[in-house]
Amino acid sequence: MKIVIASDHGGYELKQFLIETFKKEGYDFVDYGTDSEESVDYPDYAIKTCEDVAAGKFDRGILICGTGIGISIAANKVKGIRAAHCTDCFSAKMCKQHNNANVIVLGGRITGPELAAEILRTYLNEKEFLGGRHENRVNKIKAYEEKVYK
């Protein structure tokens, strides 16, 4: 699985923790930055990451800002992205099963590192999109995107 990860300054510390933790578990993330806790603008990181996920360069994306809110708003502006801001493992599982989320978003200042690792592990290990009634809903989102992003 090809995975990209990015954060702003508010998510930098958690991003570094997750990269090191998951490297030990055999995951390899491409890191799109930021590279420090110096203030940056989260839309820059969300848009670049999500454009490449939407283009198929990566299977999944991980985004982190202070709360997860701002970067998730920016991420969901990119056509083809279904970014889910998750604060618990159940949501991480459901965002893949029900929404076929291709990006997970975490809050570096609101979710502790160990819980964030469990949330991310749940998301990455969830392979199945259930389809059915859920596919109909995702297809409605895609149809709207096609209409709006001509």
- Neighbour tally for 39: CB within 10 Å: 9
Nearest Cα neighbor of 91 from 132, 56, 116, 123 is 123
Structure letter (DSSP) for residue 64 = E
- Token pair in block for residue 149: 């992003």
Confirm or deny that 87 is annotated as ligand binding. Answer: no
Active site residues: 65, 98
Confirm or deny that 121 is annotated as ligand binding. Answer: no
pLDDT reported for residue 10: 98
Q: What is the pLDDT along the chain (150 residues), one digit of tens a residue?
A: 999 999 999 999 999 999 999 999 999 999 999 999 999 999 999 999 999 999 999 999 999 999 999 999 999 999 999 999 999 999 999 999 999 999 999 999 999 999 999 999 999 999 888 888 899 999 999 999 999 987
Confirm or deny that 9 is annotated as ligand binding. Answer: yes
pLDDT reported for residue 128: 86
3-148, CATH topology level: Ribose 5-phosphate Isomerase B; Chain: A, (3.40.1400)
Identify whether the C-beta of residue 116 lies closer than 8 Å to the C-beta of residue 63: no
83 pairs with which residues across the strands?
103
Could you state, in order of their start, the residue ranges of all structural domains in the chain? 3-148
Nearest Cα neighbor of 120 from 12, 21, 9 is 21
Measured between alpha carbons, how far is 58 from 42 in angstroms, rounded to an integer? 19
Residues 107-132 have pLDDT tens digits of: 999 999 999 999 999 999 998 888 88
